[in-house]
Each structure stands twice: as C-alpha cells, then as structure tokens.
Amino acid sequence: MGTTHSLSHTHRYPTKQMSALNARRYDFRQEMELLSPILERAQKSLSEEQKITIQSACRNHRFSSRVQFLPIGEDQHVMTMQDLSDLGLNDPGIQGTDWKAIDRLLFGNYGMIEHKRLNIGSDSIGRIGERPLIVYFQPDPDDEPQKPANAAGRHRNLAWQILMHVAGVDWALAMEQPMWVDKTIARNKDEFSMLMSLANGSESRKQPPAELKSYDLTRRNVRIDDLDRLVSTRLAATQGQFGDVIATGTTMTIKPDYTDQAVYIFDRVKTSWTKASRISHEHKNRMVDAFKTDSSQITKLIQTLGEQVGSFVDEESERNSAKTIRERVNERTTDTICSFFNLCSGEWSNDQEAAAKALANLSTKQRQLEAFV
C-alpha cells in the first residue's frame, strides 16, 4: 500500500463531541450526524477562489501541495487518499472522531479554509504542518511489514475529504490524490501504543478513555477485531480490564442508531461492571468466575447489554429527575448485569430522595455563600 513519490458567524455545532469507529474505512459521509454542521459551515465559508484552487490542484493530482508543506528531497513516502481511508479497516482499537479537531483544521487560527493568524489572504488555502503517521507491524525482521494502521492523522484525513467535497471535487478523483505521509515500523502492540500516545500528545487532541482502553487491551493480546475474537482472547486481559472487555464488546453489538454514542455507552458499561462487582463479595466472585470460565455466558451478556443500554439512554433522556442521565443509565445497566447473573440489584436512591439530597446540598451552599455577604 502506497509508494514513494515527489511531489465568524454563529454556527450550529453538534452536542455530541465524539463518535466511535472500529474496523471501517474513514469516510466523513458516514459521520454526517456528527459532522453535518461543519460541512454546512465549510460550504458557506469556502470562497470561489479557494474552490478553483482546489479543483485545479485535484485535476493535476497536486492536492497535497496545496494543503501540506513540501517535504525536503524527493523520497517522502506517499499514500493516496483511498489508501488513507482504507487504514480504518486495520484500526487496532476503538477510534474516536472528534468534531472539534476537524473544526480546528478547517477554521482554526491556522485552518485550511479560515486562518486568522496566517498572513496569506482569505482566498488562499491553509496547510497542515504534520503529516499522517502510518505504522506497519513487523514482529519478525525476516517478514514483510504488514497491516498498516493510522497512529496519527485520522482527523486530517476527514478534513481533507470535506474540503475537496465542498469544492465540488468528484469523490473518485479525491480518492486518487497522493498525500505525503510518514511511515514507521512497530515490532509489537506495546510499541504501537507508545507511538499512538506520542503522536497524540499535548499538542494534539485528548484521546477519550474508551480509545485508550481499547489500545491497552490490544497490548495484552486481546483481539478486538470482532466479538468472537474478543471473547476467545478475553483471558489475556487482567482482572482490572474485565470491564473494558465487556464494554468494548458492547460497542460492537449496539444497534447502528447508537454508533455515534459508542464512547458514551462504553463508559456506562465499564462503570456499571465495576459498580456491580462492588455490591458484595458474592457479586464479584460470580462475575469474575463467569468471565474466566464461561465464554458463551459472557457473549450473551455482551449481546444483552448491546441490545438494552442504548434504550436506557433514550428513555432516561426523556425523563426528568434530580439525578443525572449518566447516573440513571449506570444504575439501570448495573441492575441488568446483576439480573443476568441472578444477583440482587443495587440499592439506589429514588427521584424524591435524590431531589431532597440536592436541596440539602443547595441549602448548605447558600449558607456558606451568605456568610461572605
């Protein structure tokens, strides 16, 4: 894969910051619920001069020279936009799509469409300084590097797709565009995780817990390609990661309507597994024993959670309560886990009790503030 070549208005933004991907191509068109406000802003903001510049560059397969900084020499690695899109099929973990990161790439201080701090004129195209980092696995030096994965650059890829789309570039032509990339080799998943952490450091976006946890699982040789492999390799996880395994599996089995909430659902399931295991020693022992000895039961639990947790989110979103939606979904998910193992449910405060507690806390806070008046 890939060869070596030379080469402000008010906007409605999504309330959901992240959506999650796992083992599918990077394609902004599959993320429209999350990215449609950005697409709308890009269509309004892109000037006629910018459109012409992008169209001309793409006709000549020189899009990279407009949106990337020129490399030194003629030996820089190159992959087409189609190659970069296909990298999503090799993702070794749950990948979060952060609309804020894409928004910055297009409209930030140094954005490609809007660029307040670049003295290049409003009709020029801003460039992205960092090239995508592609990691190949090569456990044995005698083997060919294989299974290229994206250590950094997923959001750049989506931003480039959006930019060409709003400029009117045909999708097939957009996918032909050669882009400069950096390539390296990881000998194992520990090295891949290290590269992920370094590439997404303090100057990049903050990775959500679900994304980081999924990489931690792969470091333990837990396979997260699909549910069957996840369950069959689950015993490679530490006991402290059992909740991560259950949560990762749940994100694989949720209905398509809840794909954009996969990171949120991951967090709810992981928290609920921990809450259920802490109700009593009996709860913990039965859950741990089932995890270690009964793969069919664990598969069924994951499928049950995948079918129900999304509905919990919808139902609790429609209900008024003094308790947060997160807290209520956690409690219902915890009870589902307990019920599955024929264990007693947790003891939770009802709405009236939660409201009374909130009022008491508010009264205490009021008295504290009044003391300063």
Q: Does residue 166 sit in the same domain as residue 21?
A: yes
Distance CA 206, CA 225 (A): 24
Q: Which residue has the tokens 């490679």?
A: 236
Q: Does residue 160 sit in the same domain as residue 271?
A: no
Does a structural domain hold residue 220? no
Per-residue pLDDT reduced to its tens digit, 120-163: 877 889 999 889 999 888 777 777 877 888 888 889 999 999 99
Does a structural domain hold residue 44? yes
Q: What is the 3-state secondary structure (H, E, C) of 206-274?
A: CCCHHHHHHHHHHHCCCCCCCHHHHHHCHHHCCHHHHHHHHHHHHHHHCCHHHHHHHHHHHHHHHHHHH
Q: Does residue 191 sit in the same domain as residue 240?
A: no
Q: Which domain holds residue 43?
A: 3-207
Q: Does residue 280 sit in the same domain as residue 164?
A: no
Does a structural domain hold residue 218? no
Distance CA 167, CA 136 (A): 33
Distance CA 26, CA 260 (A): 14
28 or 123: whose pLDDT is higher?
Answer: 28
Interstrand relation of 133-137 and 182-186 (parallel, antiparallel or unpaired): parallel
**Which of 91-100, 103-112, 293-302, 340-349 has the lowest average pLDDT?**
91-100
The per-residue pLDDT for 209 is 52
Q: Does residue 182 sit in the same domain as residue 234?
A: no
Q: Does residue 142 sit in the same domain as residue 243?
A: no
Q: Does residue 296 sit in the same domain as residue 183?
A: no
Which helix or strand (DSSP H or E) is residue 135 part of? strand 133-137
Per-residue pLDDT reduced to its tens digit, 232-245: 999 999 999 999 99
Which helix or strand (DSSP H or E) is residue 79 part of? strand 77-80
Output the six-digit token pair for 368: 């504290």
Does a structural domain hold residue 149? yes
**Which of 37-41, 88-92, 195-199, 320-324 has the lowest average pLDDT?**
195-199
Q: Does residue 21 sit in the same domain as residue 148?
A: yes
Could you tell me which residues come within 8 angstroms of residue 133 by beta carbon, excluding any fewer than 6 positions away?
150, 151, 152, 153, 181, 182, 183, 184, 195, 199
Q: Does residue 271 sit in the same domain as residue 195?
A: no
Confidence check: pLDDT of 222 > 70:
yes
Q: Does residue 77 sit in the same domain as residue 49?
A: yes
Q: Does residue 57 sit in the same domain as residue 194?
A: yes
Q: 228: closest CA among 126, 282, 170, 298?
A: 298
Does a structural domain hold residue 153? yes
Q: 196: closest CA among 89, 91, 349?
A: 91
Virtual CA dihedral for 208, 214, 219, 223, nearest 10 degrees?
-170
Per-residue pLDDT reduced to its tens digit, 287-313: 999 999 999 999 999 999 999 999 999
* Cβ atoms 101, 156 nearer than 8 A: no
Q: Does residue 150 sit in the same domain as residue 265?
A: no
**Which of 142-151, 207-216, 223-232 has the lowest average pLDDT?**
207-216
- Structurally, the chain folds into a number of domains equal to 2
Q: At what angle do helices 99-107 and 32-45 cross, to 10 degrees?
A: 10
Q: At what angle do helices 295-317 and 281-293 cross, to 10 degrees?
A: 120
The secondary structure of 141-210 as a DSSP string is: TTSPPEEEEEEE-HHHHHHHHHHHHHTT--HHHHHH-EEE-EEEEESSHHHHHHHHHHHTSTTSPPPPHH
Does a structural domain hold residue 12? yes
